[in-house]
Amino acid sequence: MTLSTIKITDRDHQIAKLSAIAVALSLVEFFFPSPIPGVKPGIANIIILYTIFKFDMQMGVWVSLIRVFVTSIILGSFLSPTFFLSLSGAIFSLLSLMVFKNLKREYFSIISLSLIASLAHIFGQFIIVRIWIIPHNGIFYLLPIFIVSAFIFGLVTALITIKLLQLNPKK
Amino acid sequence: MRLNSLFIFFLISFLFGCSENKIQHSKDFIFGTLIDIKIYGESKVIAENVSNEIFNEFHRLHKLLHPWEKSLITDINNAISKKQPIPINNDEVINILKNTQYLEKKTKNLFNPSIGKLITLWGFHSDFYDNEVIPNQEKILKLVSSNPSMRSIEIVNGILKSNNENVQIDLGGYAKGYALDQAKKILLKNNVKNALINIGGNILASGKHGERNWLVGIQNPRKPNALATISLDPGWTIGTSGDYQRYYIINNKRYSHLINPKTGYPDNKTQSATILLPPSKNSGVHSDVFSKPLFLADKKNKAAMAKALNIGYFLIILDDNSILISESLNKKINWEEEIEKKIITIL
Amino acid sequence: MKKKLLQSYKLIKIGDWFTIILFCLLIIISTKLLWNMPQGEYLEIYKNNELLATYSLNQKITKEIKGKKGKTKIVIDNGRVRFSSSPCPKKYCIHQGWITKANQTIICIPNEISISIIGAKKGYDTINY
């Protein structure tokens, strides 16, 4: 009898812990009704940003994607439109972070990156909605509401992440 | 701080971005339809006052003539169905009823406001006509063969009597036109020359839009846009009967509120009939009433009907999307869409 | 408390101000472009990506549309329109209430029904609706 063993590293433990927190935050958000339909603060993004800046980009990608998959499986929306919306948003914001993370840190803080990522998130979702779910230009009417909310929540997410990083400085 | 001042600057330029306008525009919903009044070249205060006076007059007429909510008309209908005579202390209504008798005869019975029972049967006596069922054929034929007519009504010394208890008055095809004539009087009284009044498709173009005439779009009955535009000379009136406003569809067949009094069924050989009338005292009523016989008449009789009613300007769209247009209107009209020449017949 | 506020203010670096200003510009421009809308004239009802029907807004009428999960009721009431019942779990579409202006949209993702108001192209002063 052979036992195949998988080596579980510290890094994997970290990813698992952070993903679990991110999933928990997503679930909390799901069960609290939002004041404007479809507008959510995206509090799980705090964990993603924190992961990227405390550890590295690759880990952030892991946590973000695990969050999307696990949350949708728990909520029973896996492979439904809601899942693809969430996945597309996550991919777009991760891509934007990869592009912009090399901005000079003495001029640009996490605030800029968070704002850019939240905007990318909205556009990622809108692209899916426009091509797949509601292929009609009428939906662009909703865009300003989402851009404003992206601005507010992007800013708040950044400030909380900065606070968290101050409390747990990079080793 | 820099951010704040910049933001405020943009906010201000955004708020004041709209330009000023010589047109005062007001809207209301009366007679179960949209009323749209545009007044050109008057101050905001005058335009608002005059519009409100017109809206108030329309509300009064709506309450007076409503075909199914309690009104003088429903009181009359109740009395008729009980075969009781009823006194009417309202000269305005007496004149309207007498006028409809004359118009019914003139339109060879195709305008018949006494078929309220048929309209109820088809479910159009309701703001939300969502019980979409085709009525029983026997009931329809029974009502049609009882020959309801305004001419079975007799008004002597203010007492109304009808010898046909199946008569139920519905002024739905008259009231909006009458309201247009009343609005004309209000504009004249207030010395407002330039105004465009649209009561659910019955339009009065009083005066002009500045240097140019008022421009009216003609609805494409099957698409959400204008088929053509017409420049209305000062004082002219336009009226349309169409199957695209109040209707329902069962098994891909369209049933509109325009019911042919001779058959008891909604006509579905015509999509819309539009007429233009020159300025006259009753042009509003005529624009409303005379579009119906043009809509309901058989295809081959439409031109003769127009001639009998002295209508020189008409545009009729048939069920196969082909167009019948009078020669004089064809010279005036601007087609908005590419219209194939072969589907237009100039009469 | 004041000190803390000041600290968070200092967190914002010069480049962040640049990002924030760009973002505000984006908000203003998108609002101006996308919300510059006239009163609506027609209603389009979509099921997934298929245009089911177009109705004039100038009427009172209730329509029932069969979506993926069940029947959605749409009420047109003289120039405005709303969802009055829907089989979706959260009823966001109903809570959105009445819409009146061109380009305004209500979307019900679970039932795959959306409605959108469109304005008329205006080459004229009024139309014989």
Give me the residues of chain B with pLDDT under 70, please.
1-21, 127-132, 337, 340-342
- The answer to whether residue A3 is domain-embedded is no
Whole-number pLDDT of residue C60 = 81
- The answer to whether residue A42 is domain-embedded is yes
Whole-number pLDDT of residue C23 = 92
For B238, which of C28, C39, C128 is closest by C-beta distance?
A: C128
Tell me which of B109 and C90 has the higher pLDDT.
Answer: B109
What CATH number did the domain enclosing A148 receive? 1.10.1760.20
d(CA B341, CA B323): 10
What phi, psi does C126 have (nearest 5°)? Answer: -155, 170
Q: Nearest CA of chain C to the CA of B307: how many Å? A: 23
- The answer to whether residue A1 is domain-embedded is no
Counting as contact any 3 or more CB pairs under 8 A, the partners of C are: A, B
C4 pLDDT exceeds 90? no
B182 lies within 8 A of chain C by CB: no
**Residue A143 belongs to what domain range?**
10-167
Whole-number pLDDT of residue A170 = 62
| Nearest chain C residue (CA) to B37 | C126
The ipTM value here is: 0.81
B71 lies within 8 A of chain C by CB: no
C43 pLDDT exceeds 60? yes
When scoring C4, C12, C20, C23 by the number of chain A Cβ atoms within 10 A, the one with the most, hence best to mutate, is C23
| Nearest chain B residue (CA) to C55 | B224
Whole-number pLDDT of residue B325 = 93
CATH class of the domain at B76-172? mainly alpha
Q: What is the mean pLDDT of residues C68-96?
A: 86
Q: Which residues of chain B form CATH 1.10.3980.10?
A: 76-172
For A134, which of C20, C31, C107 is closest by C-beta distance?
A: C107
Q: C31 contacts in A (CB within 8 Å)?
A: 144
- The answer to whether residue A99 is domain-embedded is yes
Strands (E), chain B: 23-30, 33-40, 86-87, 153-156, 159-162, 195-199, 202-206, 214-219, 226-232, 237-242, 247-250, 253-256, 270-277, 313-318, 323-325, 333-335, 344-346
- Give the DSSP H or E segment for C83: strand C80-85
- Give the DSSP H or E segment for B62: helix B44-65
Give me the residues of chain A with pLDDT under 70, please.
1-4, 34-38, 135-138, 170-171
Total domains in the fold of chain A:
1
Interface contact flag, A38 C105, Cβ < 8 Å: no
- The answer to whether residue A148 is domain-embedded is yes
- The answer to whether residue A4 is domain-embedded is no
Whole-number pLDDT of residue C8 = 53
For the domain covering B195-346, report its CATH number: 3.10.520.10
When scoring B9, B26, B33 by the number of chain C Cβ atoms within 10 A, the one with the most, hence best to mutate, is B33
Q: A38 contacts in C (CB within 8 Å)?
A: 92
Whole-number pLDDT of residue B130 = 56
For A133, which of C37, C44, C109 is closest by C-beta distance?
A: C109
Q: How many residues does chain A have?
A: 171
Name residue, tokens 């899942």: A83
Interface contact flag, A147 C8, Cβ < 8 Å: no
Whether the CB-CB separation of B176 and B200 falls below 8 Å is answered with yes
C129 pLDDT exceeds 80? no
Interface contact flag, A37 C95, Cβ < 8 Å: yes
List the one residue out of B227, B264, B259, B242 whose CA is nearest residue B319.
B242
- The answer to whether residue A145 is domain-embedded is yes
Whole-number pLDDT of residue B6 = 42
- The answer to whether residue A2 is domain-embedded is no
Can you spell out the DSSP letters for B189-239? HTT---EEEEETTEEEEES-BTTB-EEEEEEPTTSSSEEEEEEEPTT-EEE
